[in-house]
Amino acid sequence: MEIHQSAVILLLIFSVSSFTHGEIPENIKPRYENFLNQHFGPDMTVKNCDSVIKKRGIIRGGTENGCKEINSFINANSKDIRAVCEKAGTPQGGDLFKSNQPFPVITCKLKSGEKHQKCEYRGVSDTRYIVLGCDHGWPVHYDEGIYKPNNV
């Protein structure tokens, strides 16, 4: 049985297409899911910081149950957020991409508490250019938000 060169090329095109258009590579999937858990908030409001952070089990890195000082939620759909890692973002060096357009962001700042389940937050809403760490086109880290003043 002979394999034609065109069949091999077609197979490669299908492989690359499925990789870039939706299937998360297994080695990236846990990091992407963690990113979504910590920073994806299409329905987030400033009033529900406490309940969302508690429900999602968001804690300070390096601790078992310490309150996280600040956590930001991107108020957009996952498709628009992911696009920052591709055509809707500008490379910033390394694996970082800055959004070409500002996003609404809810920033939850710790106002009291030391242990998870007793953390109390104050939410602030603003608009920012977001900077994401990306791996093969998938956001895996929220690096920062760059404030966009209303008069710009």
Question: Which residue has 């952070």 as its token pair?
Answer: 53
Which residues lie below 8 Å from residue 59, measured CB to CB, with a gap of 6+? 65, 66, 67, 68, 116
What are the DSSP calls for 78-142, one per residue?
HHHHHHTTTTTEEEEETTEEEESS-EEEEEEEEEE-SBTTS-EEEEEEEEEEEEEEEETTEEEEE
Local structure of residue 144 (DSSP, 8 states): E
Helix, strand, or coil here: 73? strand
Chain centroid offset of residue 80 CA: 10
* Catalytic residue list contains 136: no
Active site residue 141: yes
Q: Per the residue annotation, which of 4, 21, 39, 116 is the catalytic one? A: 39
Name the active-site residue from 4, 116, 136, 141: 141
- Written as six digits, the tokens of 83 are 């696009």
Provide the annotated active-site residues. Answer: 39, 141
